[in-house]
Chain A
Amino acid sequence: MMVGVGGALWTAALLVPAGLFATSTGTPGAQGSGKTRWIRVGRLDDLAAGEPKRLQIVADERDAYTVTKDQTLGSVWLMREGNAVKAWSAVCPHLGCSVDLGSDKKSFSCPCHTSRFAISGKAESGPSPRDMDPLEARVVDGFVEVDFRRFRTGITERKEA
């Protein structure tokens, strides 16, 4: 009995911290930590109204312990509406390929599994479980800024990765 209790104690003392460590996967300051991160992507004047444009997200990248300055982290789709801008993540909500503009220039389509989205980002056909993921966008001093985030793919619910 005593031996059993002792053995269980010894094992638990080893395995509890081990489990905590093995499941420790978040890095503070890295992408996906839930914090708002406004990134300047371009000038408002360079966007033509009603015509989607894809711009790159350039910012510092944090990979666990390494921080690399000015890396291209991904891209976003932007559409100007008057003096406001709408933004979507260019990552397909299905399985993470890059969403491109359709051949008609009036819709989005994913080259991997032929998901199609309306110009409003609404899923229209193909396997995508949800609409394109909208991102917060604002205009500051004539520059467009986007709160860049990543989302989990393949699920109906929109959840930040």
Chain B
Amino acid sequence: MPKLPRIPNPIGAAATRQTTNPPERADELADFVLQDHRGEDVRLGELWSDGPAVLVWLRHYG
């Protein structure tokens, strides 16, 4: 792909192309505790304790 002309990078874009690196298991993810829309803590592992979960990491709310 042709490179764009060099432009300012005020948004913290990566300097070089990265690769994605999804895990094979969600063991590390399971222990993270995040807040929901009410500010209540949710342990990620709870999401798939009763069945599969589809986890979507959003780039933006839209």
Judge: A and B partners, yes or no: no
